[in-house]
Amino acid sequence: MGWIDQRGSQVLPRNECLRLLAVHAGGVGRIAVVDAGHAVIEPVNYRMLDQDIVVQIGPGLMLDAVDRQSIVAFEIDGMLPPEAWSVSVRGLARRLDKPAIAEHARPVGVGPVVPKPGTSLVVLRTDVVTGRRFPLQPSGSRQSSVASRDLGGVALRAPVRVPRDATIREAATVMDDQRISSVLLGDHPAWLVGEHDLIEALAAGLDPTTPAADVATRMPLWATTTTTVAEAAAIMAKHCVQHLLVMTADGAPVGVLSRREALRQLLEERSETAGHQG
């Protein structure tokens, strides 16, 4: 997974950087150019076309830099206790000569997060890719006298997957048969759909034959197996989510933590602590 630099950050290899870019594709990154000696940075929607980055931008400094064949920088990052990470890319950017090629970019059909993204499709080559992962220092608000086990020590059920094109009815049937409250859609990147999503969709009048992908979370919140139960519960409470995807340090999904399971684990931990103190 790379080596540790002098600041204690883990240096990520190229393949891990590309994996993070792919997992978070469909979301927002930041693109940067230097104009008249000044750095200009703007948020953009992005997708992945093989190992290249596809962004959609409008007229302005960014597009002018692309037309001048300037070196463009791109960055994404994320933070979920107990760690944070960042991936940076530098490379040549060019307009996409054949817009139809963008149909092969992943994820397919994702809507723009940044409003009014512009109409020009630009491809950024991942010539130079660097990344760092580093532990977050615990703050006073996160310190607790109650010990909390890591998610890696919790017997989470392996995630259940359904095809990316599964309908709402098909996803609901699998959840009912397996007695679970969520499923993953497709293999890579993994989208998450929960029973709460399906209930809201049907209550809003959607037909059961509607693709479950239409109501799935395409960038689900995640935690690693080294995240504690208490930290995971705090993430879920802060972001008001029903499920949290649990992954290994290599990015392999190992389970999905539901609010119900998080509550059960926390009550169990508190009972054990009270028993020891008694």
60-64, 145-149, 201-205, 256-260: the lowest-pLDDT one:
145-149
**Residue 156: what are its φ and ψ, rounded to 5°?**
-80, 140
The per-residue pLDDT for range 32-65, each reduced to its tens digit, is 988 777 788 999 989 999 899 999 888 888 888 8
Q: What is the pTM of this model?
A: 0.55
Q: What are 32's two structure tokens?
A: 């940067």
How confident is the model over 204-228, as a mean pLDDT? 89
Domains 10-135 and 140-277 belong to one CATH topology: no
Given 3.10.560.10, 3.40.50.1820, 2.30.110.10, 2.60.40.1180, which CATH number is that of 10-135?
Answer: 2.30.110.10
**Domain extents for the chain?**
10-135, 140-277
Number of Cβ atoms within 10 Å of the Cβ of 230: 19
Q: What are 19's two structure tokens?
A: 């994996």
Q: Which residue has the tokens 């007695």?
A: 179
Percentage of residues in the chain having pLDDT higher than 70:
88
Residue 129: band (very low, low, confident or very high) from pLDDT cuts 50, 70, 90: very high
Q: Which class does domain 140-277 fall in?
A: alpha beta
**For the purposes of burial, counting CB atoms within 10 Å of the CB of 226, is it exposed (0-12), middle (13-18) or buried (19 or more)?**
middle
Q: What's the Rg (C-alpha) of the chain?
A: 21
C-beta separation of 154 from 229 below 8 A: yes
At 278 the pLDDT is 58
